[in-house]
Amino acid sequence: MLTIALPKGRLGNQALRLLNKAVDGLDKLDLSSRKLVLSIPKKSLRFILVKPSDVPTYVEYGAADIGIAGKDSLLEAQSKVYEVLDLGFGKCKMVVAGFPDKKDSWINKAHRRVSTKYPNIAKNYFTSIGENVEIIRLNGSVELGPIVGLSDVIVDIVESGKTLKENGLVVLEEICDISARLVVNRVSLKTKKNDMTWLIDSIEKVLEE
Ligand code: PRP
């Protein structure tokens, strides 16, 4: 039996579409149900539906053998998992964003604050460019930070750019590209080698089509 951690939400639907092509008999999986565990006994597969940012944790601890997670969640969690495939969907960018007219004043300000759902990514980024900032952790609606004066800028993902635009913010710096990745537990890769290889190969074939 292989356990696969799927992220709830938009990434989950795209992940299921890919898995449907890779493995027959998954078309009955209903991600909109309130069930958190969905089993396909005939295929010896079990799916657990988790918060996207928790996928790396389930896989790191072996509660799931395989998971699909955004690169943002992986970078933030810094978990000890193997990243085996770039799945090519869920593409977006991790950026520093703020008000366009504040760009210069932000750079020259002595005490600078950054609000973000990604404190580790933000800390690593600003450390890597030798800048000292205060990081304020939020759980969502991060764009509010500069608007209400909580922070000077935000570090967040941008997909269509709509949220930034509608809130009068722009990208000031790009940090990295993000997309969905297939990650595996390091022990499962050895103890369930045949099943793991079969699933990874099946997914890879779909990506090559
Ligand atoms: C994410 C992200 C941005 C938005 C970017 O938030 O944090 O706010 O999507 O997408 P866009 O560029 O297409 O507008 P999410 O929808 O996950 O909600 P949250 O802010 O409550 O976390």
Give the residue whose CA is nearest to atom 19 of ligand 1. Answer: 140
User: Is residue 57's pLDDT more than 90?
Assistant: yes
Atom of ligand 1 nearest to the CA of 160: 13
**Of the candidates 171, 177, 180, 21, which has an alpha carbon nearest to the alpha carbon of residue 93?**
177
The 10s digit of each residue's pLDDT in 98-152 is 999 877 777 778 889 999 999 999 999 999 999 999 999 999 999 999 999 999 9
Q: For position 65, which CATH number holds? A: 3.40.190.10
Q: How far apart are CA 83 and CA 100, in angstroms?
A: 36
The pLDDT score that the predictor gives to residue 29 is 79
Percent of the chain scoring above 70 in pLDDT: 100
Distance 99 CA to ligand 1 centre (A): 17
Q: Are residues 69 and 117 in the same domain?
A: no
| Ligand 1 pocket: which of 10, 72, 163, 175 to mutate (most atoms within 8 A of CB) | 163
Core vs surface per residue 93-120: b (16+ CB within 10 A) or e: bbbbbbbeebeeebeeeeebbbbbbbbe
Domain that holds residue 106: 92-178
Q: In this structure, are 123 and 56 located in the same domain?
A: no
Do 64 and 132 lie in one domain? The reply is: no
Task: Please list, in sequence order, all residues whose beta carbon lies within 8 angstroms of the beta carbon of residue 21, skipping any fewer than 6 positions away.
Answer: 206, 209
pLDDT at 180: 98
Tokens standing for residue 45: 């597969």
- The protein residue whose alpha carbon is closest to atom 18 in ligand 1 is 140
Report the pLDDT value the prediction gives residue 114, as an integer from 0 to 100: 97
Band (pLDDT 50/70/90 cuts) for residue 48 is very high
Helices (H) and strands (E) in the chain, counts: 9, 11
If asked whether residues 183 and 84 sit together in one domain, one would say yes
φ/ψ bin of 4: left (φ > 0), alpha (ψ from -120 to 50), beta (otherwise): beta
Task: Say yes or no: 107 and 96 in one domain.
Answer: yes
Backbone angles phi, psi at 39, to 5 degrees: -110, 145
Output the CA–CA distances (angstroms, integers) from residue 9 to 52, 142, 144, 158, in the order listed.
8, 18, 22, 16
Nearest atom, ligand 1, residue 141 CA: 20
Tokens of 88: 């090519």
* Residue ranges around ligand 1 (CB below 6 Å): 140-143, 156-163
Same domain, 172 and 201: no
Residue 139 C-alpha to ligand 1 middle, in angstroms? 11
Quote the mean pLDDT of the chain: 94
Number of domains forming the structure of the chain:
2
Residue nearest to atom 15 of ligand 1 (CA): 140
Residue 149 Cα, ligand 1 centroid: separation in angstroms? 19
The Å distance, Cα 118 to ligand 1 centre, comes to 12
Prediction pTM value: 0.93
Task: Lowest mean pLDDT of 22-26, 86-90, 174-178, 194-198, name the range.
Answer: 22-26
In a shared domain, residues 42 and 121: no
12 and 78 share a domain? Answer: yes
Q: pLDDT value at position 186?
A: 96
* Most distant pair of Cα atoms in the chain: their distance: 61
DSSP, res 101? G
If you measure from the C-alpha of residue 50 to the centroid of ligand 1, how many angstroms do you get, rounded to a whole number? 18
State whether 70 and 16 are in the same domain. yes
CA distance 4 to 38: 10
pLDDT at position 106 is: 77
Helix (H, G, I), strand (E, B) or coil at 168: coil
